[in-house]
Amino acid sequence: MISGLIVTTMTDMGPFPLLNLSPIGEDTTVKLSVIGMTILSMGAGTVAEKQHYRLHGSIPIPDSPNLEALAMSFTVAPTQTDDIRIDQHGRESTIWLLFNSKDRDRIFLQHATIEKALKEEIQTIYIEDNLTDPTIMERILKRIKEISSVDIPVEPEKPYYIPERGGLEFFTINAEGELITLKPSDDFTIHPILIIINGVIKRILLIKLNDSAPQRLMFLAGRTATNLNSNRFKNEFTIRDVTDPIEREMILEKIGTIQKIGV
């Protein structure tokens, strides 16, 4: 289900794609490299360092409505640089794994396995020249493709199943992606994004309440949910974007019932 791989990095002049093993064009890879340096918040000396070797996504691919990506950031020793920060801390880089949006749920089921394998591969990449070595990157792509092609049955689900009492936690995020706890009695509709942790069926739901909310905010919500799943739930929960308007309304209607009776 993984269909391609792209490598982007922070050059001395700014973010730039280095290697493209995918069907998307050069203009799109340039946009993707800028997105990577922005929404992955890379940069030594920041919280971003803690995000290295974590698998983020899904992330929409610019100009490609049916494509999404998983991304992992890391640093390599620069071959040559005039930038003292890069010289001291390494060159920030990202590997992007592309897949079709229709495969999102199955990719999420493989998230932990893909993250482990990609981390193992990236930790063998030490220098900048490795980033453009097609032999290395084709090997990585082949391994991840094999993992993602394993057929894991997707359990039949009630995507809008919300228990009336217990098992739920509600959150939103601010512009920096920091988690904000909400009480069941709060008015959720004033927030652009709602994150629901459903402990009964081990699922984290991401719901965009405001259709005009920037995509960057939705990505930050996904990254926050990924970190929650990893740190708190040991990757035992499934993360799910609620994109269908009817499903969203069903969930919000159920939440309205919960807010009336209390949880």
Q: What share of the chain has pLDDT > 90, as a percent?
A: 33
What are the structure tokens assigned to 229, written together? Answer: 């799943």
How confident is residue 129, by pLDDT bands cut at 50, 70 and 90? very high
pTM of the complete model: 0.64
What are the structure tokens assigned to 65, written together? Answer: 């409505």
Round to whole Å and give the CA distance between 50 and 180. Answer: 20
Round to whole Å and give the CA distance between 196 and 8. Answer: 33
Phi, psi (rounded to 5 degrees) for 136: -65, -50
What are the structure tokens assigned to 47, written together? Answer: 């919280």
Helices within the chain (DSSP H only): 26-39, 84-89, 104-109, 111-122, 134-148, 215-231, 245-261
Local structure of residue 210 (DSSP, 8 states): S
pLDDT, one tens digit per residue, over 81-102 is 999 988 888 888 999 999 998 8
Res. 130: pLDDT tops 70? yes
pLDDT, one tens digit per residue, over 16-69 is 999 999 999 999 999 988 877 765 554 333 444 445 778 887 788 888 888 999
pLDDT, one tens digit per residue, over 187-232 is 888 899 999 998 877 888 898 888 788 878 888 888 888 888 888 8
> Per 3-state DSSP, what percentage of the chain is helix, strand, and coil (rounded to 5)?
40, 30, 30
Round to whole Å and give the CA distance between 142 and 198. Answer: 35
Residues 6+ apart with CB under 8 A from 80: none
pLDDT, one tens digit per residue, over 135-174 is 999 999 999 999 998 876 655 444 445 544 457 899 999 9
Round to whole Å and give the CA distance between 20 and 137. Answer: 10
User: pLDDT at position 154, please?
Assistant: 54
pLDDT, one tens digit per residue, over 102-128 is 888 788 888 889 999 999 999 999 899
Phi, psi (rounded to 5 degrees) for 46: -120, 180
